[in-house]
Amino acid sequence: MIGRVFYLAAGAALGGYAVHRFHRARRAMSPGGLADRVESQVSEYRGALRELNEDLADAVRDQEAELLQRYAPRKSRHVAGEPAAEPLESRNR
C-alpha cells in the first residue's frame, strides 16, 4: 500500500514537472518568447559593445598622452650651450 502511494506521488510530481517544462518550452517558442530572447541578446551585445568602446577610448587617450609627452615640443627645452628661444611676443616687436 505504501509503495502504491509512493509511486502515485512520484508520478504526480513527474507529471507536474513535465507539464511545467512543456509550457515553458511552448512559451519560449512563441513569437513573444522569441522576441524576448532576441531582445535580451541584443541588449547584452549592446552593453558589451559599450564597454569595448569605453576601453578603446581609454587606451587611445593613454596612448595619445604618451605620444604627446614624448614628441610634443616643450617650452623650456633647449640644447645646452645655446640660448633659450625667446617667446614669439618679444621677437615680433
pLDDT tens per residue across span 40-50: 999 999 999 99
Q: How many domains does the chain have?
A: 1
For residues 54 and 48, give the distance between their C-alpha atoms in angstroms, rounded to a whole number.
10
- pTM score: 0.46
Is residue 79 in some structural domain? no
Is residue 84 in some structural domain? no
Report pLDDT digits (tens) over 28-72.
899 988 898 999 999 999 999 999 999 999 999 999 999 999 988
Is residue 63 in some structural domain? yes
Is residue 82 in some structural domain? no
Is residue 80 in some structural domain? no
**Structural domain span for residue 19:** 2-68
Residue for grid cell 559599450: 50
Is residue 11 in some structural domain? yes
Is residue 78 in some structural domain? no
